Each structure stands twice: as C-alpha cells, then as structure tokens.
Amino acid sequence: MKYDKVIEAARIAHREHWRVTSDESTGDKQASAVTTAWQNSLCSSRIQCEVPIQKNLNEKIDVVDLSTNTAYEMKASGKNAGHEFFKDIFKVIVYNRNHDRKLKRLVFLTERNGISQLDKGLGRAVIESAMEYNIEIILQEI
C-alpha cells in the first residue's frame, strides 16, 4: 500500500503508547491511549474520527477518510484480533446501509501476529467475499 498518512499516524501512536503487557487493565488503558493519540493527530474536515454507523447504535468507526471513502480500524494488540476484525467489517456494512456516501475500503490495523491470524482461513475468505459488498479489505501492520 502506498504511503498513507493515517497509517503512519497509527504507527507513531502505537510506538509511543503501546508496550506489551500481560495485565488486561494496563493493556486496555494503553490501547485507549494509542487510539486517542492517533485520532487527535488526524481529525479534520476531511478525516473524521469516531464516526457513528447508525443513529440508534453506539458503534463508531475509529477513523474515516472522506476523500478516499476509507474506514480505518485499529486493534493495538495482535491478540484475538479476529473478534475486532469481524465486528469492524459489520460496522462498515451497517454504515453503508445508512449513509449516502459509501465506504469503499476498510483498512484494519494491528500487530503482525494479528495479521498472520487473519490472513488465512475464515479471515481470508471474508476478505475475498467483501468485494460482493463493494468493500476492499486491507490488513495493515502497525
């Protein structure tokens, strides 16, 4: 994938705020700090953060680049990335059902071990099937 300032900002935030930990509470706090730093470095009229997918749902997409109709979702830890990945795909599908401007791409950012899990089996099948919904899915290491 060519240079993408949203991905680069995610990598910077991840480097600055993420440390491997076995403590779930610490990991949750760090993941929140990564996402907040990432979003704070990007949000503008062109790049929106915490974008609601539907009025009556409390689900949001981390970052949406309106100039490319691309959704970005991040899982700071590569552990259990599948849970977030599959949920994020459905968030894009629901978003597209409820908005005139359709998202054409989902970039899912996570650590290398999460990418490895998702790039085979059901994850790979879903990535290939997403084109039926006019959505390209890209797995991107942070």
Over residues 68-99, the pLDDT tens digits come to 999 999 998 888 899 999 999 999 999 999 99
Give CA 53 to chain center in angstroms.
14
Q: Which of 11-15, 23-27, 29-33 has the highest mean pLDDT?
A: 11-15
Collect contacts of 132-136 with beta carbons under 8 A, ≥24 apart: 133/93, 133/96, 134/102, 134/104, 135/89, 135/92, 135/93, 135/96, 135/103, 135/104, 135/105, 135/106, 136/104, 136/105, 136/106
pLDDT at site 23 = 65
Angle between helices 24-40 and 5-17 (to 10 degrees): 140
The predicted model scores a pTM of 0.92
Which residue would you say has higher pLDDT here, 37 or 27? 37
Q: What's the rounded mean pLDDT across residues 2-23? A: 84
